[in-house]
Amino acid sequence: MAKQNKQITITIDGKKIKTSPGENLVKAAKTNGIFIPSLCYFESNESPLGTCRVCTCNIDGKPSPACMEKTREGMEVEVNVDELKNYRKAIVEMMFSEGNHFCPGCEKSGNCDLQHMGYEMGVSRSRFPHIFKDRLIDFNPKRMIIEHNRCVKCRRCVEEVLTDDNLQVFSFCNRGNETVVGIDYEQEAKLSEEQALNAMHICPTGAILVRGQSFAKPFGDRRFDMKSVQKDYQKQLPPENPDKPREPKTIATISLAGCFGCHMSMLDIDLELLDLVEFVEFNKSPLNDIKEFTKRCDIGLIEGGCCNSENVEVLKEFRKKCDILVAVGECSIWGGLPAMRNTIPLRECLEEAYLNGITTEPGEYIVPYDTDLPKILDKVYSCNEIVEIDHYIPGCPPDAHHIWKAVMNLLWGEQYSVLYSEFKYD
Ligand code: SF4
Ligand code: SF4
Ligand code: FES
């Protein structure tokens, strides 16, 4: 049947827009400059999947996935309602908790819809406990690698990846929590390189990778790098209250097993640091060389993880003396570069460093063992493995303005927007 030319009027967040009847709602909103977050939906699919629920909006007063709705005269849609924004964010956070997503080490970073949705919604941590499932990484297919730990079961691959004989390559196996995407090796082997690449692009996460193609486009030039489809999404936060005076607060900082890069970044706000010191006092910190706590602090900023016994002691002391503890940078969050040694037994590391390494002085074949030296731990620990951490500021190092805006938010409850360009890192 020919599509009707008649235009209808629908209302989205109070704004009246003209569109064709029977148009997909997510698409109609996008055409009119309104962003409805979505993940499993993609425009070329005539029959939306409706599997993720990230696009949930109030439609004529009822919550419903927008990608499953077609436009009709008089339709009333609410997108940017605080409660819905929170629900949508919670869904994305659950996806991060359910799988193993470590974006800086992921081949799909910058090209990944899930990562992008996380940035758009301001997800910096998940409120749900991580499940840490140990799923298979399947290297058996001819052209692809399937990383099941990153699959969000959106069903895109099942519906869209077909051979020339119209046979499915992917299917869902098992049920409920145990559901995984199965791949038919025989059918996969029939795919051309172009069809395999299409499968990688269809997948909204880094679950489907094509051998030799994951880094074909360098970081920085990727689809979502340095751009936001909805720049204003996070600017809808309430503005900070300029009338509320800032109470003076005390900050402590420390660098454990790190490179001091995060501390250098903290100084990178240049002259704004002078404004900051008007209402914060630094206590124990390498920034002022105060070596011991002289009072309880409102916030402690931790750079670096724990590689020796002294790091552990200092971190525990920070936990005791600071009301809020923030892990700043990758080394404090997961161990970072120093944690590369975690894949090698400690004995081998010490032998390489002190006995067999090319920098070992002839005749100086000794592993330092003085009792005054802190004991090296069996591995490098992230801070949250030792003490409870209240907040995380990722980055290597995180941007200076981002660190201080986060700190101000925590100390004085000041709201701010995390701009995509500021928070995006690879
Ligand atoms: S699949 Fe996406 S969200 Fe998951 S680790 Fe990779 S880039 Fe991050
Ligand atoms: S492999 Fe990718 S496309 Fe397929 S269900 Fe998982 S996330 Fe979706
Ligand atoms: S985008 Fe609508 S349910 Fe996934």
Residue 425: the pLDDT is 52
Q: How many A from CA of 50 to the centre of ligand 3?
A: 5
Q: How many A from CA of 146 to the centre of ligand 2?
A: 9
Q: Is the CB of 114 under 6 A from ligand 1?
A: yes
pLDDT averaged over the chain? 89
Report the pLDDT averaged over residues 265-287.
87
For 317, other C-beta atoms within 10 Å of its C-beta total 17
For 337, other C-beta atoms within 10 Å of its C-beta total 15
The pLDDT-based confidence of 422 (bands split at 50, 70, 90) is: low
Residue 4: the pLDDT is 53
The pLDDT-based confidence of 366 (bands split at 50, 70, 90) is: confident
Residue spans of the domains in the chain: they are 8-80, 102-210, 240-423
Residue 227: the pLDDT is 57
What's the CATH code, domain 102-210? Answer: 3.30.70.20
For 320, other C-beta atoms within 10 Å of its C-beta total 12
Q: Is the CB of 53 under 6 A from ligand 3?
A: yes
> Which amino acid residue places its CA nearest to atom 7 of ligand 2?
151
d(CA 114, CA 205): 6
Find the helix or strand (DSSP H, E) in which 353 lies. Answer: none
Burial (0-12, 13-18, 19+ Cβ within 10 Å), 114: buried
99-125 pLDDT per residue, tens: 999 887 899 998 999 999 998 888 877
Residue type, 407: V
DSSP 166-183: --BSEEEES-GGG-EEEE
Which of 135, 129, 57, 120 is closest to 96 using CA atoms?
A: 129
pLDDT of 11 strictly over 60: yes
Ligand 3 closest atom vs CA 56: 2
pLDDT of 238 strictly over 80: no
Query: Which one of 52, 106, 145, 146 would you pick to mutate in the ligand 1 pocket, going by the greatest count of ligand atoms within 8 A of its CB?
Result: 106
Percentage of the chain lying above the pLDDT 70 cut: 92
Ligand 1 closest atom vs CA 106: 6
Query: How big is the CA angle at 294 (ends 253 and 380), to the nearest 5 degrees?
Result: 35
Q: How many A from CA of 266 to the centre of ligand 3?
A: 39
126-175 pLDDT per residue, tens: 889 988 888 999 999 999 999 999 999 999 999 999 999 999 999 999 98
φ and ψ at residue 323, rounded to 5 degrees: -65, -45
Radius of gyration from C-alpha coordinates of the chain: 25
CATH architecture assignment, domain 240-423: 3-Layer(aba) Sandwich (3.40)
Ligand 3 closest atom vs CA 41: 1
pLDDT of 420 strictly over 80: no
Contacts of residue 173, defined as CB under 8 A and 6 or more positions apart, other chains included, come to: 179, 180, 181, 182
Q: How many A from CA of 199 to the centre of ligand 2?
A: 9
Q: Strand locations in 191-282, DSSP E? A: 208-210, 249-255, 280-282
pLDDT of 383 strictly over 80: yes
> Which of 17-26, 86-95, 97-106, 277-286 has the least mean pLDDT?
97-106
Residue 324: the pLDDT is 96
d(CA 225, CA 120): 12
Residue 246: the pLDDT is 78
> Which amino acid residue places its CA nearest to atom 6 of ligand 2?
151
- Across the strands, what pairs with 305? 257
Find the helix or strand (DSSP H, E) in which 116 lies. Answer: helix 113-120
Which ligand approaches the C-alpha of residue 153 most closely? 2
Burial (0-12, 13-18, 19+ Cβ within 10 Å), 292: exposed
- Where residue 50 falls (left for φ over 0; alpha for ψ -120 to 50; beta otherwise) is left
d(CA 261, CA 278): 24
- Across the strands, what pairs with 254? 302
Which ligand approaches the C-alpha of residue 109 most closely? 1
Q: Is the CB of 103 under 6 A from ligand 1?
A: yes
Q: Quick check: 21 and 72 in contact, CB under 8 A?
A: yes
Q: How many A from CA of 207 to the centre of ligand 1?
A: 8
Ligand 2 closest atom vs CA 156: 3
Which of 227, 228, 217 is closest to 108 using CA atoms?
A: 217
Q: How many A from CA of 267 to the centre of ligand 2?
A: 42
Q: Is the CB of 77 under 6 A from ligand 2?
A: no
Which ligand approaches the C-alpha of residue 147 most closely? 2
CATH topology of 8-80 equal to that of 102-210? no
> Which amino acid residue places its CA nearest to atom 4 of ligand 1?
101
Residue 271: the pLDDT is 79
Q: Is the CB of 85 under 6 A from ligand 1?
A: no
Report the pLDDT averaged over residues 376-388.
96
> Which of 24-38, 323-337, 374-388, 390-404 has the least mean pLDDT?
390-404
How far from the centroid of its chain's Cα atoms is residue 95's Cα?
11
Q: How many A from CA of 190 to the centre of ligand 1?
A: 27
> Which amino acid residue places its CA nearest to atom 1 of ligand 3?
38
The whole-model pTM stands at 0.65
Helix, strand or coil, per DSSP, at residue 258: coil
> Which of 192-201, 269-278, 334-343, 410-419 has the least mean pLDDT?
410-419
pLDDT of 234 strictly over 50: no
> Which of 61-70, 104-113, 221-230, 309-318 has the least mean pLDDT?
221-230
Ligand 1 closest atom vs CA 108: 7
CATH class of 8-80: alpha beta
Cα atoms found within 13 Å of the Cα of residue 171, Cβ hemisphere only: 8
Ligand 2 closest atom vs CA 150: 7
pLDDT of 8 strictly over 50: yes
Instruction: Report the side by side order of strands in the sheet with 249-255.
Output: 280-282, 249-255, 297-303, 322-328, 391-393
Residue 421: the pLDDT is 58
For 138, other C-beta atoms within 10 Å of its C-beta total 16
Query: Which one of 147, 148, 205, 217 would you pick to mutate in the ligand 1 pocket, going by the greatest count of ligand atoms within 8 A of its CB?
Result: 205
Contacts of residue 257, defined as CB under 8 A and 6 or more positions apart, other chains included, come to: 304, 305, 306, 307, 308, 311, 331, 335, 338, 380
User: In angstroms, how far is the first alpha carbon of the chain from the final one?
Assistant: 48
Residue 426: the pLDDT is 47
Q: Is the CB of 52 under 6 A from ligand 3?
A: yes
Ligand 1 closest atom vs CA 113: 2
Which ligand approaches the C-alpha of residue 42 most closely? 3
Which of 368, 371, 379 is closest to 336 using CA atoms?
A: 379
Ligand 2 closest atom vs CA 158: 4
